[in-house]
Structure 1
Amino acid sequence: MDELVLRPYQHRAVAELRQKFADGHRKLMLYAPTGSGKTVLAAEMMKKAYDKRTRTAFVVDRIVLVDQTSRVLDRYGIPHGVIQAGHWRNQPNELIQICSAQTIEARGFFPDTALLVVDEAHCVRQKIAEFIQSTTAKVIGLSASPFSKKLGELYDGLVSPVTTQELVEGTDEFPACLSSLRVFIAKEIDMEGAKTSMGEWTESEAITRGIKISGDVVAEWVKKTYEIYGRPAKTIVFSAGVAHSEDLVRRFSAAGYNFVSISYLDTDEYKKEVMEDFAREDTEIHGLIATDILTKGFDAPDVLIGVSARPFKSSFSSHVQQLGRLMRPWGDNRKTWIDHSGNYLRFLSKWEDLYTNGVQQLESHKDEPVKEPTKKEKEAAKCPQCGALWPKGSDSCPSCGHIRIRANQVQEVAAEVFELGAGPKEKKKKNKVTPVRDKQEWYSQFLHYEVTTGKKKGWAGCNYKDIFGVYPRGLEEVMKPPTPEVLNWISERRKQYYAIINKTRV
């Protein structure tokens, strides 16, 4: 049995929830990114309630989440029962009950409870919503994407203790505990003119159009998995629908890779068996393909690649849930996101706001159609050489080192050091999305190159500024041999520079 120890931001969340209840709120939404430990935080609150002999109900909307939550409580020695048809843990006298939403709805009544915790609260179910509106119990909704229009009617307060950026980069209070994403903008499913229903593209349109680029999805995955990891890395694929999943399985199989599709058509036993097999480190499954099953209750930290092949016109919530499935850390591996859906650029401004600022009020990021980026904007947002997402304010690709040269803005410094991309009085914006550890990697490798090749002191800092827009601050003066990525960046930069110099001399 493990000791239940909370991280600093989880302690802060508990304190804020208690204060808001003390101030008179009764129904609170707790926002925290996927991977931040919402279930552990809920376990702490249920344990405190149990110690006070208070009855608690924890409601989940998928059967797989019942056993997953039960295992968490067992890990910390917290007694509980389960309300789910035919479940072996039917113990109605226990103060804590893990409840299947489907079973609650089928029976037509809730257990007696003083505290109701609703998991994945952004998925508003009618019967659950009716109970929340009528109950005198305290209610806490948990969500990493509380963007449904109805949430503002159901909950009277919001607690948002931590942002995704803080979890990726770390703070003075706690170290980094989520992985950053290396994003590649790949060939996109063309949804121009596609039929819509309730503000979203219809599944049939998404499937038909998605199948047209299935071959590109497989080819891009093969290319990236070997370029980045040198092998087939464990992968999850979000497809447009069942037929699209099946087509992708056939295409991957023809290329020699074992991808498995799971959907609502499969039995719960089969889905559970497949996911347990996939979760093993020695699994022979290269990847799982599903439409939305993997966005809830799926927890496999060793997945290194996520492939987005299900376009959303308005569902920012679903996009956030998909990204979150890939951000759980796994050793020193950086995760890779391959976007064929267009979602990453479509929701980029919303994602950057959420990433940096978290949720400030309910419905602040509500799901609704967004303006589609133009073809020019899409091309400008990716590296023309490797397809990686191009950092704002940067003239170089952090993935392959490719440089966008602005000939009239080349400035030679001390005959050896030069700056590309900004005039002497023009300031670049800091790339807030880049984790500190990645910045340290580049700076350490530039320092090593500076010393071992006899460059003038300061060369490393100037090259660092070309990428991140500012000189290195708060980084360690440690050297590390440069990787092929960094050497390629340096080589490409010099070639571009001398090409411009030669051109200006003619």
Structure 2
Amino acid sequence: MNDGIFNRGVEMVVLRDYQEDFVQSIRGEFKKGESAVIAVSPTGSGKTLVAARISEMAIGKGKRVMFIAPRRDLIIQTSRVFFQNNIHNTVLMAGYPYRHGMACIIASMYTLHSRVVRRKVMGLPDVDLVMVDECHLSISNESMQIIQMYKDKGANIIGFTATPARADGIGLGSLYDTMVTGPTVESLVMGGWLCESRYFAPTSIDTSSLRTSKSGDYVLSDSEEVMAKDGITGDILDNWKRIANGKSTVIFCVSRKHARHVANEFINDGINTVYVDGDTPAHERANSIKMMTDGSATVLVNVFVATYGLDIPRLEVAVLARPTKSISMYLQSVGRVLRVHPSKPDGAIIIDHVGCVSKHGFATDHIPWSLHSDGDVSSRSSQIKIDNQEDKEIICSSCGYCFKGTRICPLCSHGEILQSEEIPVLEHDLKEIFSGTQHVKKSPVDFMSWLKNNMVTSLTER
């Protein structure tokens, strides 16, 4: 991309300072001569607005742009945001009239591939800049084919994502030339742009029986079988009522069978619960999202629908009930509840029934993303924790509190063992994990007072 494809002009899209810095960092890579850039920024940081600003700048220079998204609701949502910022666009998706000649196209990757490649009923739209939303999903054959076609035509590519890695943790260097990282989750939390979060997790979970699929994650049938067994995790409903009763919640399940079972447990307990999966009709899914958005429903149980792209700021609790080896899957799920909203002054809550926090760490942890590497990102993250023991999650063997960043328990001052060593195991009940990056604005005295008043469960209460 030459420097002139998106320059400063009349600015209608108003960005936060960190978003404007992000735009200029992306622009800087194209000035260096790169043609395909991954733009990495956390869930909830406003990547759609960044894309709108870049589109505005490019269109102001007489260029044509396309924003490609992987799912219907994301396409509609993006088109709406662009219109709200005075960027007129046409939608290229089944069921919508496509207007030729528009400077901005919001396209479905599936529809684009179907019409251009599979059915050959239209030519590849002529654009100068292609932006790919959730680009960690762009390793499918259809996506790779479309992106390569545009690269061959000389178009420039920006891939937006919070997690620039495939499901198996390998980077995206086969499609992109370079990577720009925006703000971190930690910096956005400290700046008040994302929520602080508290973590509750089992002391242990056995995933040794789970096989690994070709995609690099656990075999779904194995995960479903494990989650159906008693004694592996605390009861999802009981722990939710104890830790987060009445709070707006999204639950991530293994399969339709598993999700329906969980949903029925909540419904039978009188909790207003909605259920969605990939086969849920569009109007039912839209109604469920609306009910969660306006607060008329409390719990959203889902299978592979809410993992990415779900934008409901009032969501306060994420219940992880699907084991995953993918740090991308984990961070995308947790990111659903990190947006700031007046209804959650105490921040977000993560209830982890499947050992994700122990395996992948906290959302505020540094993640060593890379375009090219010999190992996956989870392995590199694990190695960092091995090299720096104080960054490992620790469970206090005296009082049961969980924390990181120190070898001394912040609650009872007991000297601690590392989680990789032998730890007493409690059945079912979840305990709180404390991230050392949280509550940085509190004084030490205030913090200890908060800690003792807010810890939900400890061994001393037993």
Shift of 1:152: 0.4
Corresponding residue to 2:320 among 308, 311, 320: 308
Shift of 1:336: 0.5
In structure 2, distance between residues paired with 1:323 and 1:212: 24
CA contact (8 A) 1:184 1:338 kept: yes
Q: Show structure 1 runs of 5+ residues with no match.
A: 171-175, 227-231, 408-430, 447-463, 468-481, 496-506
Q: Show structure 2 runs of 5+ residues with no match.
A: 1-10, 118-122, 417-433
Alignment of 1:19 with 2:28, yes or no, is: yes
In structure 1, distance between residues paired with 2:70 and 2:351: 29
Q: Which residue of 2 aligns with 1:327?
A: 338
Deviation per residue, 1:265-304 (Å, 9 max, x gap): 21122111111111103x1x22111122102221111111
In structure 2, distance between residues paired with 1:365 and 1:104: 33
Shift of 1:16: 1.9
Q: Which moved more, 1:140-149 or 1:6-15?
A: 6-15
Q: Which moved more, 1:158-167 or 1:36-45?
A: 158-167
In structure 2, distance between residues paired with 1:280 and 1:312: 30
CA contact (8 A) 1:119 1:143 kept: yes
After TM superposition, the structure 1 = structure 2 runs for residues 216-255 of structure 1, keeping only pairs within 5 Å, are 216-226=235-245, 232-255=246-269
After TM superposition, the structure 1 = structure 2 runs for residues 160-175 of structure 1, keeping only pairs within 5 Å, are 160-170=181-191
CA contact (8 A) 1:189 1:209 kept: no
For residue 48 of structure 1, give the secondary structure of its aligned residue in structure 2: helix
What one-letter code is carried by the residue in structure 2 that aligns with 1:290?
N
Structure whose alpha-carbon radius of gyration is higher: 1
In structure 2, distance between residues paired with 1:334 and 1:365: 34
What one-letter code is carried by the residue in structure 2 that aligns with 1:82?
V
CA contact (8 A) 2:185 2:364 kept: no
CA contact (8 A) 1:79 1:96 kept: yes
Q: Which residue of 2 aligns with 1:203?
A: 220
In structure 2, distance between residues paired with 1:345 and 1:71: 39
Alignment of 1:7 with 2:16, yes or no, is: yes
Change (3 A) 1:385 1:138: same
Shift of 1:244: 0.6
Q: Which residue of 2 aligns with 1:288?
A: 300
CA contact (8 A) 2:193 2:340 kept: yes
CA contact (8 A) 1:185 1:339 kept: yes
Which structure carries more helix by proportion? 1
Change (3 A) 1:59 1:277: same
Q: Which residue of 2 aligns with 1:317?
A: 328
In structure 2, distance between residues paired with 1:384 and 1:220: 21
Q: Which residue of 2 aligns with 1:42?
A: 51
Corresponding residue to 1:183 among 175, 199, 210: 199
Q: Which moved more, 1:179-188 or 1:118-127?
A: 179-188
Q: Which residue of 2 aligns with 1:347?
A: 360
In structure 2, distance between residues paired with 1:45 and 1:380: 40
In structure 2, distance between residues paired with 1:268 and 1:365: 39
In structure 2, distance between residues paired with 1:385 and 1:261: 40
CA contact (8 A) 1:82 1:97 kept: yes
Change (3 A) 1:317 1:363: farther
Q: CA RMSD in A?
A: 3.2
Shift of 1:327: 0.8
Shift of 1:348: 2.1
Shift of 1:394: 5.4
Shift of 1:364: 8.8
Q: Which one has more relative contact order, counting CA pairs under 8 Å at least 6 apart?
A: 2
In structure 2, distance between residues paired with 1:322 and 1:267: 22
Q: Which residue of 2 aligns with 1:257?
A: 271
Q: Which moved more, 1:4-13 or 1:211-220?
A: 211-220
Alignment of 1:119 with 2:130, yes or no, is: no
Shift of 1:80: 0.7
Shift of 1:434: 2.0
In structure 1, distance between residues paired with 2:399 and 2:91: 50
For residue 154 of structure 1, give the secondary structure of its aligned residue in structure 2: coil
Alignment of 1:434 with 2:437, yes or no, is: yes
CA contact (8 A) 1:55 1:114 kept: yes
Alignment of 1:277 with 2:285, yes or no, is: no
Corresponding residue to 2:156 among 123, 128, 138: 138
CA contact (8 A) 1:186 1:387 kept: no
Q: TM-score, normalised by structure 2?
A: 0.80
Q: Which moved more, 1:60-69 or 1:297-306?
A: 297-306
For residue 6 of structure 1, give the secondary structure of its aligned residue in structure 2: coil
In structure 2, distance between residues paired with 1:312 and 1:487: 33
In structure 2, distance between residues paired with 1:255 and 1:220: 13
Alignment of 1:91 with 2:106, yes or no, is: no
CA contact (8 A) 1:237 1:289 kept: yes
Change (3 A) 1:406 1:294: closer
